[in-house]
Amino acid sequence: MIHPNLLIILNMNMSTRNIHLTNPLAMARVFKQLNHQHTNIAFLEHTDFEIRYNVINSPDQEYKEPEGFPYCCTVHERIVEDVQQHISIFPKCCAQHAKLEGQAWFDKLNYMGLPLHTAKAVHFTEYQILNKVNVDDWYEEITQFIEYCIYSFGQFPAGFGPPLGLEDYLVFSKWIIKNNSGKVQYPKDRMTTILNYLEGYSEPNTEVKQADLNILINQYEKWLKLFPFDIPYFSPLKNQFSGIYPILNGESSFNKFLGTQKSSLITYSKLIDVLVTITKKILSSYSAYQLFQEGKLTDLEQKQLDLAGSLRRLQLDQMREEISSDQKKYIKVIKRWLKDEQSYLSEIAPILARSQQYTAFLKE
C-alpha cells in the first residue's frame, strides 16, 4: 500500500518524526519551490521518503491490556510468531522488498518491534469493533480507528513494496470479524460492512498520481497569471487569491485518532467551473458604471490605459503560452469584461468632457 505524496504547505506543522528522507536533495527542492516559485505548495514525492511505523494508542482510557499480552492467548501468540517469521526472511521475502538491501537509508533493525506493534493493532481493533459496533456512530468510530492503525505501519518509498506487518494486521483483523460476526450480540450486517472496509485495503491499490494534483495547481496558477490583477482596483485581491488553492472538494472528514482532516481532490473540469465562477464574481464587483453611479468615476484616461494594458497583456500571454480550450472559458469572460469596460468608458468619456466644459463655462 502506498500513501499519496506528501504535500508540504508553507505553514504546515512538520512534526511527523517518523518521516525519513531517502533522497537528501528532496527537501532542498521543496524549499526552492516555495522560495522561488511564489507558491504555498510543494511536494515530497513518495520516491523520496519512508515513513517508519508509529506507536499507536488504545482507542480509549477504559481499555485494559490482557495480562501477559501478547502471550495471553493463542491468537496473539500466532500474530507475533507470524510477523517474526516474516521479519526473519525480510527483505528477501519478495522482489520489491529485496530492493531495500544496499540502500543507505534502510536498516532492518528499525522493524524489530513490529511483531508486538501488529499484535497491539489487531487487539485494539478488536476492542474498538466489539465496543462500538452497537453505538449510533459505529461506522465512523470503527473505520477511523482502522485507518489510524493502517497508517501506523508507515510506508516504504515507491517501488520498494508494501509496509511490513500491514498484511498481517489486515488478515488477523478480518479473521476476528469473521469469528465474531455470527454471534447474536453483534449485528451481522455491520460486521460485514466492516469486513468489506478491511477487504478494500487488501486489494491492490491504484497509486495516486502526482500529475493529477500538479495539473490542478498549475491550472490555478495560470489563472492567477491571466486574471487582470494589474488593474489597480483588483491589485489588492491578488495576495488573497494567491494564498488559496480551490482544488479540494468542499466535503472533508476529520479523523480524531489521526488528528487529520481529509478531503478528496476536485476534478479538472470542476476546477475550470470554479475558476469561471470566481472570475465572474470578482469582475462583477467592479465596473466603471458602478463608480459613475457612486460619483467616484475619476481619471478616465488612466482607467482607459489600465484596461487597454490589461487586455494587451492577456493577448500577449495567449500568444506566448499554449492555451487549452478549458482555459478559454474564463479567458473569454475576462476579455468580454475588459472590452465592455473599454466600450462604456469610450461612450461616456466625451459626454463627461462636454458636461465638465459646460459646468466650467457656467461658473465663469
- Going residue by residue through the chain, which has 364 residues, state the pLDDT in tens, using 9 for 90 and above: 444 445 444 333 333 557 888 888 887 777 776 676 556 666 777 888 898 999 999 999 999 999 999 999 999 999 999 999 999 999 999 999 999 999 999 999 999 999 999 999 999 999 999 999 999 999 999 999 999 999 999 999 989 999 999 999 999 999 999 887 656 678 889 999 999 999 988 765 544 455 477 788 889 989 999 999 999 889 889 888 987 888 887 777 888 998 887 777 888 899 999 999 999 999 998 888 888 888 878 888 888 898 999 999 888 888 877 778 888 899 999 999 999 999 988 888 888 777 665 455 445 5
Q: What is the rounded CA–CA span in Å between residue 242 and residue 40? A: 8
Angle at 307 between CA 303 and CA 310, to 5 degrees: 135
What integer pLDDT is reported at residue 263 of this predicted model?
A: 77
For 175-193, b where at least 16 C-beta lie within 10 A, e where not — what string? ebbeebbeeeebeeebbee
Cell of 289: 458604471
* Residues forming a β-bridge with 255: 260
Q: How many CB atoms lie within 10 A of CB 226?
A: 20
What integer pLDDT is reported at residue 356 of this predicted model?
A: 61
What integer pLDDT is reported at residue 96 of this predicted model?
A: 94
Cell of 333: 469572460
Helix axes 114-132, 166-180, angle to 10 degrees: 30
Q: How many CB atoms lie within 10 A of CB 309?
A: 14
Angle at 315 between CA 313 and CA 320, to 5 degrees: 90
For 266, which DSSP code? P
Q: What is the rounded CA–CA span in Å between residue 221 and residue 200? A: 35
For 108, which DSSP code? G
